[in-house]
Amino acid sequence: MTLDWETLDRRARSGDQPGVTRLLLEAGEAERLAFARTVEAGIKAVDPDVYWRAPVNPAPGYALAVVGTAPGASRAATVLLRRGLRGAWRSVQVDRLLRIAAARELAWLGDLGTRLAVRLPARDVWDGGDWEFTAALMRAGGVQPPVTEGVVRGWLAAFIRPRGHQAPPLIMRMRDDPHLDRLLPGVFEIDGMGAVIVNAIWGDDSSLPETAIRFHDVVAALTAEGRLERKTILAATVDRLARGDKPHALRPFVLLHDKLAPTVDEIATHALDYARLLAESPGPVAAMAQRALRTLDDTGLLGLETLLEASFPALLRKEKALVKTQISWLEKVARREPGRAGEVFETVAAAFGHSALDIQERALTLVGKHLPGLPPATVSRLAEATVVLAGDLPARAATLFGATGLAETAAPPEAVAELPAPAGPAPMPPSIASAAELAEEVAALVHEQSGVRWERVLAALVTLHSAGERDALAAALPPLLDRYPGDLVEHPWNSGSALVCLGTAIRMATVPPRDDSAHRRLFSAVRSAWQEGHRGGGGVKLSTLPDGVLALRVAEIAVHLNGSMQPMLVATPTQVNGNLDPAVLLDRLTRAEAEGWQPWSFDLEQALLRLPRTPAAADVAAGAALLVSPAGRQFAQWLTSGGLPDPVSESFTQHPRKHAHNGYIWDPDVPRRVVARLRPSRDGGLRLERQLLTLHPQQAPEYSPQHFRNIEGVLAMVLPHHREVAAAWALGELAALADQDQRGGGRLLPLLAECAGPIGPALTTAMAYTLGAKQESDRAAAVDAFLTLAAGSEPFAGAVGAVLADLSSDSAVKLGRVVPALADAHRAGASAAVWELLTTALPALLTTRSRAVPELLELATQVAVALGARAAIPGLAEVASRPGSSRLVQEAKRLRSTLSQ
């Protein structure tokens, strides 16, 4: 049978790999080589969408054809690494590929495997299918795999997530693997490899049997039987821990270390490494190192200098249990070596600088107990070290050291940092000046959307097109449509997105097609929005959420770009938060009137929604009153009426629905979620207005909401002077940061803090949820927003405290996450706002069983001392009067004493 592309393509598209194989095997080598260019050209001509939209992916069949016709490894690798074929390696029937290679007597199969292996991805490796494909080629070619991150990740993933449910046990597969000695060291040497193990073995994977042997068990077992050298594995484990990584990526190596159970002599060999781990590593690693060093100390093999040097940073760690153990250990050492007790207790004094008052108190109590036996010089240095004590402890230290006959060393009152006045949002960056620069910004926009970038791109597209730069635009922009077809070209999954609307606008601005279905749909969407006053619904794909305003504006540009042309957009903001200076808008509308053009409808409405809430300057109001065009009169009326009235914003509690068997229908379970609902406070207004200000949440919480993910700036810039509205729309996502442990949404809060408008229940609830987010980056964003709001004039912290008390009462928000964030805000200068929050939240929280209430009381003591506060907190005296010495009672007594001084 003669080789022809139509036959091969038909078989590949039907998934007939045996048929493709027969076609290649029945041809002669000369015919196969002559067919190589046809295969390459045919693959290049295939629509990329075919690889993931067709009923059957033809890429595996194409891959067989590449190996069956290519003249060498370089040409074959170039084609196999194309985007469409690259994702199908795991689906190639390797036995058929090897039959083809054997028939051709290929000497370069191993070289091909190596070329492909070095391009294996170092991220997002799932089950090692791509590694197995390249490994089969290298094995057939008799070559060893390169030791790269992608190779090691794929090799490891293939072990711990075997393809197929009948794979032999992990220990058998690893013991017999020919690459074990070559690639296993990379698991220890390459950062992040532990995460591959954690995600596979400890993740939620129903394909793994419950009895699956875990990675650390297997390595330890192979070490015990002599397949792996113990000294090498232990050294690699300790070295991996000492070089550090993310905590979850170190977990398998901690377990492996414990499974190896190092002897005292082995621990002594790595004593300095353990000391470093105790001082610098994540909590579980530091605890492991502490146990190892204590074992060494018990046998007399740990030098005191090493212990003391490691103890200084260890006593300042946030893991309080570890610090308490270290203090007790040092006390034991001081008793054992009385001649060096002074050095030991000066080391203990490092804990005076710990962030927790109970740790400071424990260290001070221990030092005070042993003061009589210490030399005067040591006592003097210890007294000097007490200057870092906080809360009520400086006064206790002064009394303690005064009782020894020394002068009192009471620390001066803690200085309260002052928040600087808000700097205000920055001005917008300069306008885009050329088609080439616009193309760069569009490419950047596809990769990372932001409100500022969107505004610059839209303004430049309109301005450059109207200025006669159409040839430059036609040269610079259309290649982007080919480069990003999944974003800028309409597909069923992205129809109505702002990026797809932008792609249509680019086509209209450069080489307008005679008939464009996407353009027709956008025209219908714009007309529907104008006539009916809403976006989306009725077959219109634009989002009904606030981000749909951006898509509607881009659609408006695409529809009118070659028709009722205007030389510029009037809604482009003057500041990065979306604010539009009324004087600038006056200048734009004055120009429009003078030149005889009208702003497009939704461009003008967005401009009005971006005007400040404060009354316009007299000269601006007077200038607006002189305008006679429809847009000018609408602008003047907007200024006179005071702009957009605040909507009614109310809290709304959602409860998850349950099955008939009383089980939640979504996971993880959320006891309740507090969101917000909105309704306009007037009838009529702008066409964009009613939909933006109307929000009716569903009765049950939404699982994993991500409506505004990565477009937080777009949301904030729609209504920059009504931040309560944006907070209400995004509140479900912000709540999920705390009750579903999502990440990333906290980026919105600092943007809203820089916006304007009243602070209502939506924004205060959003603040409470984000302060309790699981991810530290989101909590940091909440602290940034807290500081910005605290520097303003509008009170808000008390309302946040009330919401926190409510949400913490049933652990909808974990209070333990909130305390460090509030401590950061206190240290940054927002002490007054933090105190307002605490005094509002504590009365309700004192009656709950939250384990973090003592930490909140401790923070309240620190803030009260810094501010010199003397206010009574309802319920505090009752808790402080309880019998016993629980942490709650101790901290309540401490705060009561501080407030009563």
pLDDT of residue 408: 43
Share of the chain above pLDDT 70, in %: 94
pLDDT of residue 406: 40
What would the pLDDT profile of 151-179 be if each residue is shown by its tens digit? 998 898 888 777 655 678 888 889 999 99
Point out the least confidently predicted range of 151-165, 176-190, 397-411.
397-411
CA distance 294 to 286: 12
Q: Is it the case that residue 307 has pLDDT exceeding 90?
A: yes
Amino acid at 750: P
SS (H, E, C) 723-763: HHHHHHHHHHHHHHHHHCCCCCHHHHHHHHHCCCCCCCHHH
What would the pLDDT profile of 38-54 be if each residue is shown by its tens digit? 999 999 988 877 887 77
What would the pLDDT profile of 634-682 be if each residue is shown by its tens digit? 999 999 999 999 999 999 999 887 654 455 454 556 779 999 999 999 9
What would the pLDDT profile of 272-294 be if each residue is shown by its tens digit? 999 999 999 999 999 999 999 99
CA distance 834 to 419: 13
pLDDT of residue 213: 55
Share of the chain above pLDDT 90, in %: 74
Taking the alpha carbons at both ends of the chain, their separation in whole angstroms is 100
CA distance 845 to 854: 10
pLDDT of residue 52: 72
Quick one: which of 741, 742, 744, 719 has its CA closest to 729?
719
CA distance 671 to 654: 9
Q: Are 858 and 358 spatial neighbours (Cβ–Cβ below 8 Å)?
A: yes
Q: What is the DSSP string of 362-399?
A: HHHHHHHHHGGGS-HHHHHHHHHHGGG--TTHHHHHHH
Point out the least confidently predicted range of 198-207, 238-247, 598-607, 761-770.
198-207
Average pLDDT over residues 141-157: 92
Q: Are 51 and 89 spatial neighbours (Cβ–Cβ below 8 Å)?
A: no
Chain centroid to Cα 851, Å, comes to 27
pLDDT of residue 205: 39
Average pLDDT over residues 467-494: 89
Average pLDDT over residues 200-214: 44
Which range, 48-62, 100-114, 189-203, has the best average confidence (pLDDT)? 100-114
Quick one: pLDDT band at residue 204, thresholds 50, 70, 90? Answer: very low
Identify which has the larger pLDDT, 25 or 793. 25
Amino acid at 263: T
Quick one: which of 471, 477, 528 has its CA closest to 504?
477
Q: Is it the case that residue 719 has pLDDT exceeding 90?
A: yes
CA distance 245 to 193: 9
Query: 792 to each of 127, 424, 799, how far by Cα in Å?
Result: 52, 10, 15
What would the pLDDT profile of 416-432 be if each residue is shown by its tens digit? 667 887 788 999 999 99
Q: Is it the case that residue 617 has pLDDT exceeding 80?
A: yes
pLDDT of residue 485: 86
pLDDT of residue 767: 98
pLDDT of residue 703: 86
Task: Write out the two tokens for 384.
Answer: 């000097």
Q: Is it the case that residue 788 has pLDDT exceeding 80?
A: yes
Average pLDDT over residues 792-803: 94
pLDDT of residue 164: 59
Greatest CA span in the chain, whole angstroms?
Answer: 107
Quick one: which of 37, 44, 50, 68 has its CA closest to 10?
50
Q: Is it the case that residue 410 has pLDDT exceeding 50?
A: no
Quick one: which of 473, 429, 424 has its CA closest to 451?
429
pLDDT of residue 460: 97
Only one residue has tokens 């919480």, namely: 701
CA distance 862 to 882: 22
**CA contacts within 13 A on the Cβ side of 469:** 21
Quick one: which of 844, 838, 846, 893 has its CA closest to 867?
838
pLDDT of residue 496: 86
pLDDT of residue 212: 42
pLDDT of residue 414: 52
Quick one: which of 81, 141, 136 has its CA closest to 106?
141
Average pLDDT over residues 835-859: 94
Mean predicted lDDT score pLDDT of the chain = 90
CA distance 604 to 590: 13
Point out the least confidently predicted range of 128-132, 526-530, 764-768, 851-855.
128-132
Q: pTM for the full model?
A: 0.79
Quick one: pLDDT band at residue 572, thresholds 50, 70, 90? Answer: very high
Quick one: pLDDT band at residue 752, thresholds 50, 70, 90? Answer: very high
Identify any residues that bridge with 675 across adjacent strands, giving them in sequence order: 652
Residues 6+ apart with CB under 8 A from 6: none
Q: Is it the case that residue 796 has pLDDT exceeding 80?
A: yes
| Helix 887-900 vs helix 357-370: crossing angle, to nearest 10 | 90
What would the pLDDT profile of 347-362 be if each residue is shown by its tens digit? 999 999 998 999 999 9
Quick one: which of 595, 494, 602 has its CA closest to 543?
494
Average pLDDT over residues 552-556: 95
Identify any residues that bridge with 664 across adjacent strands, giving them in sequence order: 658
Average pLDDT over residues 301-330: 95
Average pLDDT over residues 714-737: 96
Amino acid at 202: W
